[in-house]
Amino acid sequence: MNKSENTPEKAGEFEVSRIERVLDDETTWATPPPHVAEDLLAAIRSERERASAKHPIWLRRFWPRVSVALAAAAIIALVAGILLSSQGVTDRVPLAGTELEPGASGTAAFTATGSGWAIRLDLTDLPAAESGYYYEGWVWNDEGEGVSIGTFHLRGGSDPVQLWAGVDVDAYPWIWITLQEEGAGPAASDQIVMLGLREP
């Protein structure tokens, strides 16, 4: 690209085109959260206030077009936040540590997808599983039947853990996290480190 094409006008046109595509998508506004308009206007006002006399001459000259690009970027960021916050999360379940890990706590967020349930664990103060061991997530029903929803070890840090369930989680309201020993077989161990219950 030559220098004549890399201008604030081009940047503004590009961002306007991007935001038009986002706003034309009807799913963007399927479940807008409250205060969307206020947040958007605040973002635009903030960017406009940055145009002061201390800015370079080219910025002052092209500010109307540049402000459009910056406002569009703010809108895109806001819309992305809207989409992430409204992608079908139906329930957030608190998790508590058992006597094996009394200091552990967290939440499990359930999101319906086309292939099952995505279950995101945000955990605090659950130590990493030692070498030779791992954690396993389960959903259980009141009849004592459990289904594994995946394994993890936390040795790389305390980032959120993504697990999956292919069963109707309404029929399996209990959530367990167990400490498993490698090579000990697929059954749930009796070392339950965290528990949660989805309320009806």
**pLDDT tens digits, 134-187:** 999 999 998 989 999 999 999 887 789 999 999 999 999 999 999 999 999 999
Is the pLDDT at 71 greater than 60? The verdict is no
Count how many Cα atoms sit within 13 Å of the Cα of residue 177 in the half-sphere of its side chain.
Answer: 35
Distances (CA, A) of 74 to 3, 43, 44, 168: 26, 6, 7, 39
Query: pLDDT value at position 157?
Result: 77
72/49 Cα distance (integer angstroms): 16
Domains of the chain: 8-85 (no CATH), 89-197 (2.60.40.200)
Hey, which residues does 194 pair with through a beta bridge? 97, 177
Q: Exposed, middle or buried: residue 78 (CB in 10 Å: 0-12, 13-18, 19+)?
A: middle
pLDDT digits (tens, 9 = 90+) for 74-123: 555 455 444 444 456 678 899 999 999 999 999 999 999 888 999 999 99
pLDDT band, residue 22 (cuts 50/70/90): low
Identity of the amino acid at 27: T
The per-residue b/e assignment along 38-55, b for 16 or more CB within 10 angstroms, e otherwise, is ebeeebbeebeeeeeeee
**Token output for 66:** 């540049």
Higher per-residue pLDDT: 121 or 36: 121
Among left, alpha and beta (phi > 0; psi -120 to 50; other), residue 148 is beta
Task: Provide the pLDDT for residue 65.
Answer: 47
